[in-house]
A and B are shown apart, each in its own frame.
Chain A
Amino acid sequence: MYSDLLHALPDVFAWTNFAAVVIGVIAGIVVGAMPGLSATMAISVLVPFTFGLEPLVALGLMAGIYNGAMYGGAIPAVLLRIPGTPAAVATTFDGYPMAQKGEGGFALQVAVVSSSIGGIASAFALMLLAPPLSKVTLLFGPSEVFWVAVFGLASIIFLLGGNPIKGLISACFGVFVSVIGSDPIYGNDRFTFGQLEMLDGINIVILLVGLYALPPVIDLLETPLKTDGVNSSKLGTEPIWKALPRMNYWKTWLRGSLLGIWIGILPGAGGSMAAFMSYNEARRTSKNPEKWGEGEPEGVAAAEVANNADTASALIPALTLGIPGTAVAAVMLGGLLVHGLQPGPMLFRDNPDIVFGFMWQFLFGAILLVLLGGSLATNSFARLLNLPRPLLGSVIIVLMLIGVYSIHGRMFDVYLMLGFGAIGWVMDRLKFPLPPVVLGLILGGFAEENLRLALRIGRGDPMVLFQNTTSLILVALTVSVVVGPTLKKRFIDSRKKA
């Protein structure tokens, strides 16, 4: 089962594949360090540029960006108390007080070492857990695959928190977009309105760039951020090898890694939750909890190890079942699709070199974090905070246009992307979750095809969808995901009243 993992290793060391991870990590740190930009946005903008690249080069870039951005978010969190990414909120609690005391450099070094350890643990979890899970899912037939898709959508809608009605609207929109184009079985046009450009359906990249890249650009232009650069000019950084002996946080790193991995696997949770839980647990078990919040380096370690430990583990359900655990994982699924790699059970059987190579790239990306985000680089990356946001916004607009135009070489796609961007901005402002749209687009067509296949096998009898144990387990899981949060809320309310 694990022999494919070792076979994939030599490919990862091809210089182009390795260089892709290095470039990805650097780009990820840059993106993460810029408040308002995120790994999701960076990967969305990147995906169209990877069309002409070998799959492992493209995936290496994505793995590097994901790892780098999760650490990069700590830079403004420590220096400005503005989390560069949502997952870095807990890093501000102790990181910023450290920076005010002139220990910003050490805080960033703790962050980079902890991020690296979390990323390494997460990559190992992906390598160990995904292959056996994929063996199980290979036994699935059309009705089970249909229920997996339904379960995936239900989990992302109901476990994401917030308003389930908005989550459902997002998912319905995504599934609807997935049916635009030719019918997969009969070939008749659906909602193309005579546009030849839409016969093949809506390319996922157009949707990703519109939904995830346009709203942050509008934010960059809407609210100019003024930084005084005070904390970034007094980092007080010493070489990282001198700082390492001061970092004795093994228990925190272990606990945070396990929490991050577990939360990453759960659909809809994500890095922020992992970081908060790890921070709270570390504080609860600390000998000096009163010092936390006033510049305790272990607080930075707890938050950063957990938010990086959920990176690769979020891909366990994504790669094996096609259900992403986080928004970034959903966008990465889009990246896989662009290269003809359909996430799910068949991926491990048909493309073992690529999927296992991707796992190695996650591991190397996490290791490279320490080398690239070390003392010298930390100083340089901290200066990124002074980049003018309007200029950055205008450059991203150009990159979005190039990326989308180059998919098919036509402006129609650009206009479509702008339409999705406007919808994405409204959804973002009204707090409609975006991951269900992407998941709806990915799983909608997949679910429809398998539903129709299952119905054909059952000669039109819908009971074919409930005729085996796996399907029934998946139905039960879906029901529990839908009903679970409501029951939990009622239980908590009744206990409060009691």
Chain B
Amino acid sequence: MTESRKSRLTRPETLTAVGIILVAAGFLVPTYDLRAISALLPAAMLIGLIVLSVFLLLADQRKASAGEDAAPMTKAPKRVIGAFLMIVSYALACDFVGFYVSTAVTIPLVAWTFGYRSPVGLLIATVIVVGTIWAIFDFGMSQDFPTGRFWGR
């Protein structure tokens, strides 16, 4: 059996190990400016991460040489990327547009996009969730939510 990817360097564990090595090496730089005792634990952990990631990388490449296929991270990459993008967009929308507007749009949008297509169900769920949040957090606990940087608030 041979590795089915175009390059064995694109195996998920190999990419993760390389990513950890690069990030950990980047974080090592500021430890030189710290007192020795302050830098002891973080430097030890970062060096540990680098060494362990090298082991992880070698183990994964050994598997690749043995013809062992790496399992894909997801069977539905578009759905996963879409889900992440929607969550990040929701956070940004809360920050820039405001919490209530973003939430009222996000709940039905996410549910509709990912397969729940009942307009009445979506409307009821959105009203219940947004109403409950307002009643408990805003009205009951005086919790302030982001009102939107676009509006200068």
Are B87 and A406 touching (Cβ within 8 A)?
no
Contacts of A195 in B (CB 8 A): none
A137-177 CB contacts (< 8 Å) to partner B: 165-166, 168-169, 172-173, 175-176
Contacts of B80 in A (CB 8 A): 218, 222
Give the interface SS of chain A, mostly helix, strand, loop or mixed: helix
Complex: chain B residue closest to A388, CB-CB: B116
Let me know if A136 is at the binding interface, CB within 8 A. Answer: no
Are A169 and B20 touching (Cβ within 8 A)?
yes
Q: Using A394-B110, A415-B91 as known contacts, say yes or no to A176 and B125 having CB atoms under 8 A apart.
A: no
Q: How far is the CA of A294 from the CA of B144 in the complex (A)?
A: 55
Let me know if B127 is at the binding interface, CB within 8 A. Answer: no
Q: How far is the CA of A218 from the CA of B87 in the complex (A)?
A: 9
B16 to chain A minimum Cβ distance, whole angstroms, is 6
Q: How far is the CA of A389 from the CA of B143 in the complex (A)?
A: 28
Let me know if B146 is at the binding interface, CB within 8 A. Answer: yes
The number of residues on chain B lying at the interface, defined by a beta carbon within 8 Å of a beta carbon of chain A, is: 60
Are A179 and B41 touching (Cβ within 8 A)?
yes
Let me know if B61 is at the binding interface, CB within 8 A. Answer: no
The number of residues on chain A lying at the interface, defined by a beta carbon within 8 Å of a beta carbon of chain B, is: 52
Q: How far is the CA of A373 from the CA of B133 in the complex (A)?
A: 27
How many residue pairs, one in A and one in B, have C-beta atoms under 8 Å apart? 152
Let me know if A246 is at the binding interface, CB within 8 A. Answer: no
Interface bits A387-399 vs B (CB < 8 Å: 1, else 0)? 0111101110110
Are B16 and A430 touching (Cβ within 8 A)?
yes
Let me know if B48 is at the binding interface, CB within 8 A. Answer: yes
Residue of A173, A190, A409 ringed by the most chain B CB atoms within 10 A = A190
Residue of B59, B95, B116, B144 ringed by the most chain A CB atoms within 10 A = B116
Let me know if B115 is at the binding interface, CB within 8 A. Answer: yes
A253 to chain B minimum Cβ distance, whole angstroms, is 39
Are B48 and A168 touching (Cβ within 8 A)?
yes
Contacts of A175 in B (CB 8 A): 41, 45
Q: How far is the CA of A111 from the CA of B41 in the complex (A)?
A: 47
Q: Using A393-B110, A430-B13 as known contacts, say yes or no to A401 and B94 having CB atoms under 8 A apart.
A: yes
Q: How far is the CA of A444 from the CA of B45 in the complex (A)?
A: 10
Are B84 and A218 touching (Cβ within 8 A)?
yes
Q: How far is the CA of A52 from the CA of B12 in the complex (A)?
A: 42
Let me know if A214 is at the binding interface, CB within 8 A. Answer: yes
Let me know if A14 is at the binding interface, CB within 8 A. Answer: no
The 6 closest A-B pairs by CB, nearest first: A390-B114, A394-B110, A388-B116, A176-B45, A221-B83, A391-B111
Binding site for B on A (CB under 8 A): 52, 165-166, 168-169, 172-173, 175-176, 179, 183, 185-186, 188, 190-191, 214, 217-218, 221-224, 388-391, 393-395, 397-398, 401-402, 405-406, 409, 411, 414-415, 418, 421-422, 426, 429-430, 444, 447-448, 451-452, 455
9 contacts between A and B (CB under 8 A): A165-B56, A165-B59, A185-B38, A191-B27, A218-B84, A391-B121, A391-B125, A393-B83, A429-B73
